[in-house]
Amino acid sequence: MPSYWIKRVGVFDYNDLYNSVKNWFEAKKYRFIEKNYKNKGNEINISMAPVKKVSEYVRFVIGLDMFILDIKNVDVVKDGKKTTMQQARAKIKLTYNVETDYQGRFDKSEKLQKLKKFIDNKLLKKKLDEEDWTNLWIETNDLKKVIETKIGMGLKNG
């Protein structure tokens, strides 16, 4: 499964980051699934696995694991106004996958599993490779840019 790591140390608005990610998934028609959310005060760990139905046979899955560490609230000046943001280390892992037969219809017997393999590797191979994987790669890179923008702010303490 392909993946990206985004790592930053700096000042950013954690709530804005979280809401922007959630809004991005909703705007792209993903079913938002948050598997884990732990807030330990100065550390937040979140795991998400939103899914998007492409067809009855294909869906996109984007995995997102956020580790926000050593969180400290700091006052900054943003757009001429004093606001509180977070100084932290962010480690964010994005994974993405095109899942076929996500409903498990072909898991019921060995013959059906062979048929699934034939469908994936012969009948749908070109569509999966050239269309589905490309579209998912584009979407994942778009999400990556949103995250990098939200945690890459060069704000000064004030």
User: Residue 85 is which amino acid?
Assistant: M
Model confidence over 41-61: pLDDT tens digits?
Answer: 899 999 999 999 999 999 999
Comparing CA positions, the residue from 102, 23, 35, 101 lying closest to residue 63 is 35
Model confidence over 135-154: pLDDT tens digits?
Answer: 999 999 999 999 999 998 43
**Residue with the two structure tokens 């994942």:** 140
pLDDT surpasses 80 at 29: yes
Assigned domain for 64 exists: yes
State the total domains in the chain: 1
Assigned domain for 40 exists: yes
Assigned domain for 157 exists: no
Assigned domain for 158 exists: no
Assigned domain for 22 exists: yes
pLDDT surpasses 90 at 93: yes
pTM here?
A: 0.87
Say how far apart CA 155 and CA 157 lie, in whole Å. 7
Assigned domain for 69 exists: yes
Assigned domain for 30 exists: yes
**pLDDT bracket for residue 79 (50, 70, 90):** confident
Which residue range is the domain that position 73 belongs to?
A: 3-151
Assigned domain for 91 exists: yes
